[in-house]
Amino acid sequence: MKKALFIMIDTLVHEVYDEEAQKIIHENFDVIGDPLTKENYLEQKELLAEVEVIFSGWGAPTFDQEFLETTPNLEAIFYAAGTMKSLLSDEVWEKNITVATANTANAVPVAEYTLSQILFSLKNGWQITRNVREDREFHFNQYQMLGAYKRTVGLISLSQVGRKTLELLKPFDLEVIAYDPFVDEEEAEKLGVRMVSLEELFETANIVSLHSPLLPETEGMITGELFATMKTDSTFINTARGAIVKEDELIDVFKERTDLTAILDVTHPEPPLPDSPLYDMDNIVITPHIAGSAGSEVARMGKMVADEALRYVKQEPLKYQISKEDYRTMT
């Protein structure tokens, strides 16, 4: 059996890799030591010299040249978390090390969170909640509602989260439009979504949901000019990265357009500075980066990785392996 080690936050190992995942791993790999962390792994150089497969997750070390020099027999890295941004160096690809991630599994709760906010927002839920608190009474049909029938949802980027959100929206009587310069019309037709420009998306959609990766090309992509064109009583949702949005411009527009609502699960910086206006604006909803896997959801990632590792030892095609090009455009 191939020799394996866990390297991640030690207190999370058995939450992410639960009993079911551990059983698969221990039956098919020779786990040669206790879980290590990025703070102490260099104390176990004799184990690193032997290891062939690493199981990791949150708190992973950086897999750079220094790390790879201590792991000369390393063949594969299985990562049970979301993004691996900044963790992989070019040497990983040069050495043809197999890398598989659970970012597809992590996309599930993000898409579920997004779906919940889309449906609630189409009821004008956050705006009505504010009104009820202010009025301290309410009557049926007292407040204007959009409703979730024949409304338009705009997805910015058909990333893994964007595509999962699109899938979850299928049962609802909604029109879904999308902006993604990497998706052509043929692929869009297969996905059942109409592609539009970023400008048209903001002008047309009742809900605008951001799912782009943070890249040099996307930093600051969402501007105040775009927010200013949003339809009356529409909502902006960000579960991607805060730096994709020009936050100061968002604040300026949303101060003027109190009919708009922004649901921000991510900000830049994160959390916002203590004096940020975001905390005080009634039409801004901040959640503390909770859309991704949390609680019982983290075990989904460990199970996905364990199943992928089983395919690896059986020399079966992998489902969640990433390439150097995949890594460049990952969220």
* 218-229 pLDDT, tens digit each: 999 999 999 999
Per-residue pLDDT band at 300 (split at 50, 70, 90): very high
Per-residue pLDDT band at 289 (split at 50, 70, 90): very high
CA neighbours closer than 13 Å in the CB half-sphere of residue 236: 33
Checking if the pLDDT of 328 tops 80, the result is no
Positive or negative: CA dihedral 19, 25, 28, 34: negative
Per-residue pLDDT band at 63 (split at 50, 70, 90): very high
Contact between 237 and 118 (Cβ < 8 Å): yes
Checking if the pLDDT of 38 tops 80, the result is yes
CA–CA dist 120, 171 (Å, integer): 16
If one counts every other C-beta atom within 10 angstroms of the C-beta of residue 226, the result is 22
CA-to-CA dists, residue 247 to 12, 142, 200, 254, angstroms? 33, 33, 21, 10
Per-residue pLDDT band at 331 (split at 50, 70, 90): low
Q: What percent of the chain has pLDDT over 90?
A: 88
Strands 76-79 and 174-179: unpaired
CA–CA dist 300, 306 (Å, integer): 10
Per-residue pLDDT band at 82 (split at 50, 70, 90): confident
Q: Which amino acid is at 169?
A: L
Q: What percent of the chain has pLDDT over 70?
A: 99
Rounded to 5 degrees, φ, ψ at 289 are 55, 50
* 149-189 pLDDT, tens digit each: 999 999 999 999 999 999 999 999 999 999 999 999 999 99
Rounded to the nearest integer, the mean pLDDT of the chain is 95
Order of strands across the sheet that contains 53-56: 29-31, 2-7, 53-56, 76-79, 98-101
Residues 6+ apart with CB under 8 A from 253: 224, 227, 228, 260
DSSP letter string, 47-61: HHTT--EEEE-TTPP
- In this prediction, residue 261 carries a pLDDT of 97
Q: Which amino acid is at 9?
A: I
CA–CA dist 252, 233 (Å, integer): 17
If one counts every other C-beta atom within 10 angstroms of the C-beta of residue 239, the result is 26
- The pTM assigned to this predicted structure is 0.90
Checking if the pLDDT of 14 tops 80, the result is yes
Running DSSP on this structure, what letter comes out for residue 43? G
Per-residue pLDDT band at 135 (split at 50, 70, 90): confident
- In this prediction, residue 140 carries a pLDDT of 67
Cis check: omega of the bond before 109, within 30 degrees of 0? no
For 157: left if phi > 0, alpha if psi spans -120 to 50, otherwise beta; the answer is left
